[in-house]
Every structure is written in structure tokens, then in C-alpha cells.
Amino acid sequence: MALATGGDHQAFERLYRSSVARIHSLVRRMAGDEVADDLTQEVYIRAWQKLSTFRGEASFSTWLHRLAVNHVLSRRATLARRRERQVPADGVLDGVGVGPGTPGLRMDFEAAIGRLPERARDVFLLYDVEGYTHEEIAEMMGVSTGTSKSQLHRARMILRKHLN
């Protein structure tokens, strides 16, 4: 980390390789496959620019992860992601096939997450997948903790229908 802040590209590359799986997965799940690569690159370039602001109060992975979330949220308005639905919850995932014990079960679940309403999806990913608290989510998304909790519940209620 100290070498990376000193301008060493090789050191920063090591940081990249140790973290890209998690960062790219987060970005892909939040923003979609089409823009995931570009956004991930933007995240790391931004991290490089902001390395001097890393104070070491949290781990680098935590700092980078938070930067990635904030970047995706800030770019949301300009992302050209095609979504096939912006509909109320109940009918949104009809047709997304999930079978018990099928080899593609994990990918089906991710596909189902991808079709959630945007805000519910964000909260679900940040809480259940990434482990943020409702207070942290509320701060990042500019919503109340009550909204965060209700959106999480909404997401789970939708997804539960596709696990059985």
C-alpha cells in the first residue's frame, strides 16, 4: 500500500489483482454486465487518483469497496444500462427460471437479482451480499435507514419466490 501511494504502478497492480474479483462482481451486480468492465476500470483509476487521501483508518479493501459503491451510484444517471422491466415487484421476475439443484442455479439467482427494482437491488447487494449496515447504506444512497430496511425486505420477498 505504501509503495502504491508513492507512485509505484507495480505495487498498485498487485493491489488491483488482489481485489478485482470482489470489486468487479459488485459493479457487475449493481450496474450490469454491459458496463461492468468500464466502470471497474474507472473505479481503479479513481482509486489511484485518491490514494493520497487513504488515511489507513480502515483497510484498503474497505476503502476501495466504498469508493466503488459511491462511484457506481454517482454514475447511475449516465449509465446506459438496458433493463427489461421497471415494474412493481410481483410480476418482475416471472419467467426467470430457477430449479432446485440445477447447475445453473447460482447464475439464475444472480440473474434474478439483476432484475430487481434498482433501489431494492442496491440495498440487497449492499446488505446481504456485501455486509454493509443500514446506516452505512442510508448514508451512501442518501435515504433513511427505514427506507433501506423496507427496500431490503422488498428484495427478499421477490427473490424468495424463485428459490423454491
Partner 1 sequence: MDRWTHRLSEYADGEMPPAEAGELEAHLEGCAACSGVLSELRAVKERAADMPPREPEQDLWPGILEGIRGEALRVIDLDSRRRTREAPATDRRGRRFTVPQLVAAAVALMFLSGSGAWMARDRLDHVRAPGAAAETFPGNAPATFAASPAAGAPGSELSELARILEEHRDRLAPNTVRILEKNLAAIDRAIAESRAALEVDPGNAFLEAYLEGSLRRKEEFLREARALIAAD
Closest contact distance (angstroms) between CB of 24 and partner 1 is 5
CB of 146 to partner 1, least distance (A): 10
Question: Which residue, 52 or 74, has its beta carbon nearer to partner 1?
Answer: 52
162 with 106: CB under 8 angstroms? no
CB closer to partner 1, 134 vs 141: 134
In the complex, minimum distance from the CB of residue 138 to partner 1, in angstroms, rounded to a whole number? 13
Select 73 or 156, whichever has its Cβ closest to partner 1.
156
For residues 76-94, one letter each, b for 16 or more C-beta atoms within 10 angstroms of the residue's C-beta and e for the rest, the string is eeeeeeeeeeeeeeeebbe
Say how far apart CA 35 and CA 51 lie, in whole Å.
Answer: 24
Provide the binding-site residues for partner 1, judged by CB under 8 A.
2-3, 5-13, 16-17, 20-22, 24-25, 28, 36-37, 40-42, 44-45, 48-49, 52, 106, 109-110, 124, 128-129, 134, 149-150, 152-153, 156-157, 159-160, 163-164
Between 52 and 78, whose beta carbon lies closer to partner 1?
Answer: 52
What torsion do the CA atoms of 39, 40, 43, 47 make, to the nearest 10 degrees?
-160
Q: In angstroms, what is the minimal distance from the CB of 45 to partner 1? A: 4
3-state secondary structure 65-133: HHHHHHHHHHHHHHCCCCCCCCCCCCCCCCCCCCCCCCCCHHHHHHHHHHCCCHHHHHHHHHHHHCCCC
- Closer CB to partner 1, 118 or 161, in the complex: 161
Q: What's the min distance (Å) between Cβ of 161 and partner 1?
A: 8
Sign of the torsion angle spanned by Cα atoms 135, 148, 142, 26: positive
